[in-house]
Amino acid sequence: MNDPIYKLIELTGTSTTSIEDAVDKAIARAHKTIQNLSWFQLVETRGNIEDGKVRHWQVTIKVGFTVNE
């Protein structure tokens, strides 16, 4: 009943501007198909470089959501 159960999935969001934006985008994408997204935690921050500039911030997060029926 009242003991929630969560599933965690792992996503990598990318952004040309910031770490926060990469996280926002990953969560927004997950929200399209999963209800009740509840929390996230940062796992890793990487990025690719072009011409001496960061091209994409690549931020891997775990996202938790309730799966109770």
* Number of neighbouring beta carbons within 10 Å of residue 52: 5
- Using CA atoms of 67, 63, 10, 3 in order, give the dihedral in degrees to the nearest 10: -30
CA angle centred on 44, ends 33 and 35, rounded to 5°: 15
**Residues within window 15-54 making contact with a second copy, judged by CB under 8 A:** 15-20, 22-32, 37-42, 44-49, 51-54
Least Å from the CB of residue 30 to a second copy: 8
Least Å from the CB of residue 45 to a second copy: 4
List of residues contacting a second copy (CB under 8 A)? 3-20, 22-32, 37-42, 44-49, 51-54, 56-57, 60, 62-64, 67-69
